[in-house]
Structure formats: C-alpha cells, structure tokens
Copies of this chain bind each other. A is one copy, B any other.
Amino acid sequence: MSSITEVARRAGVSIATASRVVAEVDYPVSPATRARVLEAARALDYVPNALARGLQKSRIPVVGVIVHDITDPYFSEVVRGVEDAAAKGGYLVITCSSDRDPRREASYVRLLRSMRASAVIFAGSGIDDPELTEELARHFAGLRANGGAVVHLSPYADGTPEVGVQNEDGAAAMIDALVQMGHHQIAYLAAPRQLFFARERLAGYRRGMKAAGLEVDERLVVHRGLDAAAGVKGVDALLDGGMGFTALFCSTDLVALGAMRRLRELGISVPGQVSVAGFDDISFAEMTSPRLSTVRLPMRELGARGFAHAVNLMAGKTLMAETLPHEVVLRDSTAPPPHTPARS
C-alpha cells in the first residue's frame, strides 16, 4: 500500500506539497504541480491513511451510535438516519448494540474513545444505574476534552436529550384520540421503570387520562419488557386480572404487535372487541393485520439531526436542545369500543 512519500517522489515534489494537494488543504499549489501529484496518486492507487491523519488531528471521521439492539426496527431506522447524514460528510458510523447492559455500554464507549471517534450518539434510552452513570461521565469528559461530541437522542440520567422526541406529548395525544373514539377503559402496557423514555410515555398516558377526566385504574397498567414477547405476556396479565378494558395502548410497536397476536390467539377481535395502539411507527406497523394505529416518531430524521448536532458541537457552536414532532396515525387496529366491553 503506497504512502504519500511514494506519491511525492513519483511526482517529483516534497511530501508537504503532495500532502497539500491530496488533502485538499487551502494552500496555494501551482496547477501544473497539482496535476502531477494527482496523476501520481492515481497511478499508485494511493489511498490516504486515515489513521496517520487522525493521529495528527487527534480525531478520526467516525461516529459511534449506541443502541439497544440494531435488530430492533426503531434503532435500525435511527442508525440509518445517522448513516445517511454521516456519509455526506465523509464520516463512517460504528454501530454498538449494548442490549442495555451497562457493562457493554461502557465498554463500547471506551473503545470509541480509544479510536478517537469524533462523536458518540446515544440513541437508546438512558438507564437509571448510578455506577454506569459515573463511568460514562468520565468517558464523556475525556471525549469532550478531545474535541469530540456527545449527543443523546433520548432522556438520560443527567438530563434532557440534545435532540429528542415527544414521548409524553405523543402518548397523551394517542390517549386523547382513543377517548375521542369513545374509549374510557384504556389499559397501558408499560415498559420497565428504569428506562427514562418509558417514564415519559407513562406520564403521557396519565396526563392524557387526566385531561379526559378519566381516573387511571392502576390494575390496568402493567409493566413488562419491550419486545413482542412482552406484548403477549402483558395481555395475559391484564386478562388474568379480570379487569375490563376496551383499548390497549402499548409503549412500543413491537409490544403492540405481540399483544395483537396474543389477542387474536385468544379469539378476541381487534379492533372489534379491543382496540390496540402502539408507539414509534416502525415499518411493520402497516403490514400487520389489522394495520396498527400508532404514534409516529421521525426516527430517521432523529438520527440525521443527531449527527448534525454533533457536527455543530464539534465546530464549537453552542446549541439549544431541539425536539422533533410526533404524529398520531390511526389505522385499522383502533375503532370505537363495542357496546359491551371485552371483559366485564
């Protein structure tokens, strides 16, 4: 693999000059010399060494994205958003699936730091874990001391995200929509309490109920995981409780998909007997039957804005936090409640 030294020799110029043309630095080089260097580079199939360059600049054009699991459609959309924005600037993106394991998360951040990544973007919700928080704080300081950026895309231990979404407003809006349809008994399949974004969505549920003058029956909010399996378990728990509800709002589309499937298995029609709504609007939401009503979040844009924010941070700008809008999209899984509730 040829280096700039060979390019310079072949072009008959100094390394400094060769560097200036291949790095496209703003420094005068005569057209003739420039052409010779370019020609030499082409002939030698020269590809600049990003490591050497990064060593110089103490930063490399790479951004890391910490996600829960790249296999989860929410996160893959966000990553795609980051990637598209990053590609335009010549940046590469490193995907880190932490499975919400604090140790894995810290280990990834450390690796990213060792690479002198330009930025690390936390796409997943923060976890309420004091030990992790402390270690991360140290890494953030290191990252920033190095001119790197740290951007959060969802709430975390120490504060609000630099670029966020309307978790609470979105949930409240969906409750409102359900109430408009005539629902009074709305169950909520909540996510684990230690996830910050889950707290916001739950707060939105409560706010929405309150705004409608409805009292929330605590037996109708059950906490489970965040995947489809949690959806089926949640439905079972709710049904075992024997409580009646005509609508089921889930903290995530994945959960909603699991819930719908379980409901169907049990012979409960959706939306005939129970309406189901999700959150996020992953692409599969409109491929199920019935198609899922949900609160759409601009996932790709979230990633793109997150990257843009990171770039601005690196450029030394001071920025205000921004929040991206939600949109409630009503499809076929929600409908007015039946005259007799699903269960009495």
Contacts and interface: CB of A to CB of B under 8 A. Distances in A.
B51 A115 contact: yes
* Most B C-beta atoms less than 10 A away, residue of A49, A51, A260, A284: A51
Nearest to A231: B287
Interface string A87-113: 100101111110000001001101111
Cβ-closest 8 pairs across A and B? A51-B54, A50-B114, A51-B55, A50-B115, A95-B95, A71-B76, A76-B76, A51-B51
How many copies of this chain does one complex carry?
2
Interface string A40-62: 00000101111110110010101
A93 B90 contact: no
Per DSSP, chain A at the interface is helix
Interface stretch (A138-146, A167-175, A184-192, A216-224): A138-146
A95 B71 contact: no
A121 interface: no
Interface stretch (A13-21, A30-38, A77-85): A77-85
Interface in A127-167: 138, 142, 145-146
Nearest to A79: B70
* Most B C-beta atoms less than 10 A away, residue of A47, A48, A145: A47
A287 B284 CA distance: 10
A1 interface: yes
A116 B54 CA distance: 12
A245 to B, nearest CB: 21
A47 B113 contact: yes
Nearest to A57: B51
A183 interface: no
* Most B C-beta atoms less than 10 A away, residue of A58, A70, A112, A142: A70
A62 B96 CA distance: 12
